Chain A
Amino acid sequence: MSYLFDTIARYGDIIPLKYKLDYKKFEEGLELFGDKWVQYNPRKKIPRYGLSITSLDGGFSGRPDLDSLKEYNIEHNLNLDEPDFKTLTPIWPYVESVLSKFKNHLGRTHIIKMSAGGQFPSHRDHYDRELPTCRLFIPIYNCNPPFNYFILDDNLLRFDHGRLYFLNTCKEHIVFTSGRGGNQQSMFIVANLILTKESVDLVLHNMRSS
């Protein structure tokens, strides 16, 4: 499966794809499901909140899809992984505009919002030889400096908001929200794409610059 990942990554670490979010529709969904946000990884008190787009049961509990999978698996003697979270939640129709092509290939997928001080410390997303998934990313609100900083392999990223991206998150990366020192929140979607020949073709055939 690694060769599938490498097949995409040979084209770049940050690849803008053709699809964009329909904000009008998305904001209808935010309004409808505004009470479904839960603390992202409640084991750590960091101002990060998640809203599930996929989960184990199609619900919004965030358990365990917005928890630390590693720690949840240890506690419950399970071996859940990104591809196991396939059931779409009721917010799907409101994000469908940007992800519809990948609907049948999505693993764990969610919206994240972060307040000032919200962060993902330096990390890499995979450590195994075989990679079952890769990350897609959709910046929605305030994802660029001076509100939010996404640094991947020492490069400060600047996104086109609403656009779907492939990101090579095997490389060291951090995300930090300053909210410009105020109350602005950043919001983005993180999607796990299950790597198959078909899903890789979908990425390769829909790069913005082809």
Chain B
Amino acid sequence: MNDDDKALLRLNTMSDWIEFPGFKKDKLLEELKPFDKDWKKYNPKKPNNRWGLSVTSIDGGLHGIPDLTSLRDYKIQTGQDIHNHDIVVPTDVWKQCPTLQTILEPWAKWLGRCHFLRMDRGSFFPEHFDINKEDYSYDEIRLVGFVKCNEYDFKWIYDDKVIKGNSGSLWYFNGNKRHSVFSFKDGIILLVMCLKFDKELFQFMLDYGKVK
């Protein structure tokens, strides 16, 4: 076991949800308005009223391929094996939204696939685990920013508990555990950030977290 493995082990013994400094949600939503027409169907193979807006992509474009699709399906279709940490090129969304830049800047060194997720009414992610199931060559963790949601119109069920994320808050969550999310209203927006894990990231999380 190397130090990165030990760091991940330590992280996994901490809280499943760790809060980091938040952001000005209204300002961020205002900055996203010029991109209203750039939202793409999220994983269009599974019609589900979910939409994505790329913050990073494979080439800096906003087309959503393959970053807003299933990377597993993409590999089957094209033979290209792309991981979350390969999707690193900033899109115009990143380049043109100062509030988003403020959120991302501290994490940029580790940041891979990253997008906004808009969940319209009736959309959902059924119960799943986000754990890296097959490739032991790397580990990753996830952060979620609650951009536009409320506890009544959006339900996040995590290991059988109901999570309440206030708009404007940013969290690490242990995606290895079973979770599902449901939207009861159009326009619920989350920011999803995939981070390649190493011991430096762990140290940063300890320093930057709201709870020391």
Contact = CB atoms under 8 A, between A and B. Distances in A.
Interface in B139-157: 152-153, 155, 157
B5 to A, nearest CB: 30
Given A122-B152, A154-B162, A117 B126 contact: no
Contacts of A146: 126-127, 180
A121 B152 CA distance: 8
A118 B126 CA distance: 13
A149 B122 contact: no
Interface in B35-61: 46, 48-49
Given A149-B157, A154-B162, A117 B123 contact: yes
A14 interface: no
B126 A178 contact: yes
B124 A117 contact: yes
A1 B153 CA distance: 31
Contacts of A117: 48-49, 122-124
Contacts of A166: none
Interface string B175-203: 00000101011000000000000000000
Contact of A122 (B122, B127, B184): B184
Contacts of A154: 162
A174 to B, nearest CB: 6
B161 interface: yes
B160 interface: yes
Interface in A16-71: 46-47
Given A149-B180, A176-B182, A119 B122 contact: yes
Interface residues of A, number: 22
Interface string B47-88: 011000000000000000000000000000000000000000
B124 A172 contact: no
A174 B152 CA distance: 9
Contacts of A174: 155, 182, 184
A121 B157 contact: no
Nearest to A154: B162
A151 B161 CA distance: 10
Contacts of A181: 46, 124, 126
Interface in A139-193: 145-146, 149, 151, 154-156, 172, 174, 176, 178-181
A46 to B, nearest CB: 7
Interface string A69-110: 000000000000000000000000000000000000000000
Contact of A156 (B122, B153, B162): B162
Interface string B89-123: 00000000000000000000000000000000011
A156 B49 contact: no
State the 4 A-B residue pairs at the shortest beta-carbon distance, nearest first: A121-B184, A122-B152, A146-B127, A117-B122
28 contacts: A116-B124, A117-B49, A117-B123, A117-B124, A119-B122, A119-B182, A121-B152, A121-B185, A122-B152, A122-B184, A145-B180, A146-B180, A149-B157, A149-B180, A151-B155, A151-B157, A155-B162, A156-B157, A156-B160, A174-B182, A174-B184, A176-B124, A176-B155, A176-B182, A176-B184, A178-B127, A178-B182, A180-B127
Interface of A: 46-47, 116-119, 121-122, 145-146, 149, 151, 154-156, 172, 174, 176, 178-181
